[in-house]
Amino acid sequence: MEQNLDKIKNTLKIIDNIEKKYKIKRNADVDDPLLYCGVAQSNIINDLSEDVKAYFSEPYKPAGKSAFFKNYFDKFMREVGGARVEQTLYRFQITEKIFLYCAFWPWGTNPVKTSIRIGLICYEQNDTKYFSEKLKGEF
């Protein structure tokens, strides 16, 4: 578990990067200990994507592509709540049952803004508890 914790902490450095470089602030309303959420102006998303790729690689589900079947049959996609055509989803696999993700969710009501979500998905409840304790304050 410690090895996985180090991988996760190293990848979460992206949060400091986006907050400093792009002046994105964490949404204080999000109380999930394994989720970071901020709001960015949509015009910086292309630049931000390049930084995210350095940590997460290419998008698991790029904007402009349908995820219709993935939304129904892919466990990871179901765990993050699925993705619409205009949304981008990056995934970093830690183990077969633990994934970090970064998602860009453009606002339907205000397309000049995009929510940035960075989270940890654990398929096992024990992993969720462990990482919630060990990563307190990291997201």
20, 55, 72 from 15: Cα distances, Å:
9, 11, 29
The model's pLDDT over 99-128, given as tens digits with 9 standing for 90+, comes to: 999 999 999 877 899 999 999 999 999 999
Average pLDDT, stretch 82-100? 97
- Residues with Cβ within 8 Å of 62's Cβ and at least 6 positions away in sequence, in order, are 88
> What does the pLDDT read at residue 110?
76
Model-wide pTM > 0.75: yes
> What does the pLDDT read at residue 2?
85
If 0-12 CB within 10 Å is exposed, 13-18 middle and 19+ buried, where does residue 80 land? buried
Q: Render 53-65 in DSSP notation, one character per residue.
A: HHHH-S-SB-TTS
Look over the chain and give the mean of its residue pLDDT values, rounded to a whole number: 95
Report the percentage of the chain scoring pLDDT > 90.
91
The model's pLDDT over 65-78, given as tens digits with 9 standing for 90+, comes to: 999 999 999 999 99
Phi, psi of 76 (to 5 degrees): -60, -45
Distance, CA of 73 to CA of 101 (rounded, Å): 18
Cβ atoms < 10 Å from Cβ of 108: 8
Number of residues that this document lists for the chain: 139
> What does the pLDDT read at residue 75?
96
Distance, CA of 75 to CA of 139 (rounded, Å): 23
**pLDDT band of 53, cuts 50, 70, 90:** very high
The model's pLDDT over 30-47, given as tens digits with 9 standing for 90+, comes to: 989 999 999 999 999 999
